[in-house]
Amino acid sequence: MLRQIEGSQGIAEAVALCRPQVVCAYPITPQTHIVEGVGALVKTGALENCEFINVESEFAALSVAIGASAVGARSYTATASQGLLFMAEAVYNAAGLGLPIVMTVGNRAIGAPINIWNDHSDSMALKDAGWIQLYAETNQEAADLHIQAFRLAEELSCPVMVCVDGFILTHAYERLDIPTQEQVDAYLPPFEPVQQLDTDNPYSIGAMVGPEAFTEVRYLAHQKQVDALEVIPRIAAEFETAFGRVAGGLVRPYRCEDAETIVVALGSVNGTIKDVVDAERAAGSRIGSVTIGSFRPFPLAELHDLLAGAKRVVCVEKALAPGLGGILASNVRMALRGETMPVLTVIAGLGGRPITRASLTDVFRRAAIEALDDVTFLDLNREVVGEQIARAAGMRESGPIAENLLRALNPGLVHRVSPNEDANQ
């Protein structure tokens, strides 16, 4: 059914159609509307046979989901930003125990300084915890990926994180096709756990494992990710057959057939990138793009096949590995081992900064003439950065960086003068 609906509400309704039995909720911007939406569906009876549990923290939310999943309940939760980091221990535990929990991450920047807007710092911080990570490009895909995520998690007995750009998607109103309960039931079979705590057949889950078996346990977790490289495209193809639209998968190429420059990215920015690709194609540039649908497992072989014919690759990414540059770019370079083309990083959209078509056009054109640095910070204000570097070099007590930058951008702000700073500055 086509409806004009907020992204978070669309996700909530898609989750409810999957018939979760336990939903653990703790609010944190920008995912709060999702669990509120699921809670409302439980309260009205639209979602039956579901225990909606309000907990005291994000750590508790995932811990309760772990307990629920261990006794055989289809379990769901959602979080964002510092909330994801707060539950980090439980994130690793859920994966290590092989529990098929589905969790939405409303992607948001990590402090300090405090920032509530979108980037991918949160999910990237836990990229190697053992969860499958799927990234949504649109709100329609965000809703559809949750339906696929429960099937994927339960087929592999592995937790799945669905990453949705905070505010850009979670709070945007768009026309979504919300499927019927009958459609979802036909696609998603009832949950049959591969492990389940049962007093009539007692055994331990999460026992101590020493050096004699720990490597083998970790290897089997790795093998699940490898297996997911075949399962993800299969269930995406079956979803397309059942629902009549494309969603998910490992990679999605766009105008790559003869491209000399190929742009690679995760999430909602791919829409803007495709607009730029279309405009540059019209101007005669041979450029294309690849949307990464699954960041974990990372589609090394599929990406290699798509990129091998290009002269250069530009990774546009909303996260930063300080001192290194691009996280996505590092993974792309692994996919291109043995190839000689440069893999360039464009760090963009940190803390919610707009990523404009004009700025992307500029960096893609510079890349095409070999004038783009290995790591580029899109729309970086070099003037205020230079002032801060000079300030720090000129005085020991140079003050907090974030506040200094805000003062430089807003000269009217009242600030405390350092004892070593000229009060007339």
Burial (0-12, 13-18, 19+ Cβ within 10 Å), 107: buried
* Strand extents, DSSP E, 143-195: 160-165, 173-177
d(CA 146, CA 368): 37
Characterize the bridge pairing of strands 261-266 and 102-107.
Answer: unpaired
Q: What is the pLDDT of residue 1?
A: 87
d(CA 279, CA 151): 38
- Collect contacts of 330-335 with beta carbons under 8 A, ≥24 apart: 331/295, 331/298, 332/264, 332/303, 332/307, 334/298, 334/300, 335/298, 335/299, 335/300, 335/301, 335/303, 335/304, 335/307
Query: Pick from 36, 76, 84, 37: which is nearest to 57 by CA?
Result: 84
Q: What is the pLDDT of residue 181?
A: 98
Confidence of residue 417 (pLDDT cuts 50, 70, 90): very low
H or E element, residue 360? helix 357-368
pLDDT, tens only, 357-367:
999 999 999 99
d(CA 166, CA 120): 9
Q: What is the pLDDT of residue 414?
A: 54
Question: Nearest 5°: phi and psi at 198?
Answer: -150, 120
Average pLDDT over residues 389-401: 93
pLDDT, tens only, 369-388:
999 999 999 999 999 999 99
d(CA 325, CA 341): 18
Tell how many helices (H) and how many strands (E) occur in the chain.
15, 15
Question: 370-400 b/e with 16+ CB inside 10 Å = b?
Answer: eebeebbbbeeeeeeeeebeebeeeeeebbe
Portion of the chain with pLDDT greater than 70, in percent? 97
Token pair of 99, please?
């529990």
- In sequence order, the 6+-apart residues with CB closer than 8 A to the CB of 37 are 8, 9, 11, 12, 13
pLDDT, tens only, 227-251:
999 999 999 999 999 999 999 999 9
Q: Are 357 and 272 in contact (CB under 8 A)?
A: yes
Q: What is the pLDDT of residue 425?
A: 38
Examine the pLDDT at 139 and tell me if it is beyond 90: yes
Token pair of 69, please?
């999943």
H or E element, residue 133? strand 132-135
d(CA 63, CA 80): 16
d(CA 57, CA 177): 33
